[in-house]
Amino acid sequence: MRMIGIGLMGFLLAAAALLLSTMNILERGQHYLGKLTNGSQLVFESRTATPADDPYTAKIQRSNATHPIILAGLPAYQSVVFTMPLDARPTSGYLQINATSQVLGGVEGALRVSIDNVKRGEVLLLPGRAARSLQIPLSPSDFAREELVVSISLQGEGPDSHCSRDEGLEAIVEIETTSAIFVTLDRPLETARDRVNTWGRIVRVAWPHWLDNQERVRRLALATAFKQHDVETVVLGGPSIDALTTVQLRAVLPMFKEQADHEPVSWPRPLAQKGANAGLRRFHRETSWR
C-alpha cells in the first residue's frame, strides 16, 4: 500500500507539472500581478526604438539624479535635464518615465510629458497608489542639442475639498530614478566626457583597493577640484568599468572648467594685481571700477 501511495503521489505531481507547463499558469499569474502592481507600460507614437544590449547603446541618466523629483497638487510642474553624449552621437532612442502616484478618489487628472512645449505623452491618474511607465520615442531634432529638457506636469481637477485639510494634495507623483533615455549610438561610448554625461553629469572616481598612496592622493585632489566646480562626485570602491581613472579624470576636468568660465559674472568686479581678478577688464555695457 505504501508503494501504491508513493506512486500515486508521483503521478499527481507529474500531472500538475504538465498542467502548469501547458497552460502557462505561473507566467500568466506573474504577468497579471505585474499589471496590478506596476500598471501597464504605455508607448506613444508608432516608431518605437528599442536598442539592443551592445556597445553601441547607452543609458542616459538625468542630471541631479540623487535629487527627488516630486509633483504635489493640481497643477504641478517639474523639469528634468538629460545631457547628451558629444563624441558618440545618438541615432535613435526613446525616453522612459517611470512614476509612482498617490491619488485621492474623485480626482480627474493626467501626468503630462512635454518637450519644447509640445505634448509628447500623457497618462491618466488612477485613484489610490499606482506605478506607471511611459515610453516616448525621440526624433533626430531631440538628439541635435547638447541638453534635452523634459517638462513633466500634473493637470486636472480634484474633488470639491475647500473645507478639507487635504486641499492642494489631491495627487502626488514621484518620478523614479530609473527614468532615463535609452539610445543607439553611431559608435561605442568610449570618451570620459561622454561617460560622465550619460551618468547624469556625475563624476565617478574609481577607488580600487590596490591603489598606492601616490595614486590615491592624485585622485583625491582631482575629486576635490570637481567639488570646487560644484560637480557631484562619488567614489566607487573596487575595480569598476563604470568609474574613471586618474588619466580620465584629468581629461574630463577641463570640460567643467570651461563651463565655469562661461557662467555669468556679477559686476562690478574688483581689480587686483594678483589672483583670479588680476588685469580683468571685461564688462557688459557699463560698470564701475573701484
Q: Is the pLDDT confidence value at 47 over 50?
A: no
Pick from 71-80, 110-119, 211-220, 251-260: least confident:
251-260
The domain total for the chain is 2
Q: Is residue 279 assigned to a domain?
A: yes
Q: Are residues 168 and 211 in the same domain?
A: no
Work out the pLDDT band at 35, boundaries 50, 70, 90. Answer: very low
Q: Is the pLDDT confidence value at 25 over 80?
A: no
Q: Is residue 29 assigned to a domain?
A: no
pLDDT at 289: 58
Q: Is residue 230 assigned to a domain?
A: yes
Of 185, 213, 233, the position where a domain reaches its end is: 185
Q: Is the pLDDT confidence value at 23 over 80?
A: no
Over residues 150-174, the mean pLDDT reads 77
Q: Is residue 195 assigned to a domain?
A: no
Q: Is the pLDDT confidence value at 284 over 70?
A: no
Pick from 1-10, 133-142, 248-257: least confident:
1-10
pLDDT at 241: 75
Q: Are residues 286 and 209 in the same domain?
A: yes
Over residues 63-87, the mean pLDDT reads 91
Q: Are residues 129 and 235 in the same domain?
A: no
Q: Is residue 20 assigned to a domain?
A: no
* pLDDT tens, position by position, 248-263: 999 999 988 776 555 5
pTM, entire model: 0.71
Q: Are residues 248 and 290 in the same domain?
A: yes
Domain hosting residue 163, numbered range = 41-185
Q: Is residue 222 assigned to a domain?
A: yes
Q: Are residues 54 and 177 in the same domain?
A: yes
Q: Are residues 176 and 62 in the same domain?
A: yes
Q: What are the C-alpha distances in Å from 20 to residues 8, 12, 25, 28, 238?
A: 19, 12, 5, 10, 44
Q: Are residues 52 and 114 in the same domain?
A: yes
pLDDT at 237: 85
Q: Is the pLDDT confidence value at 246 over 80?
A: yes
pLDDT at 219: 94
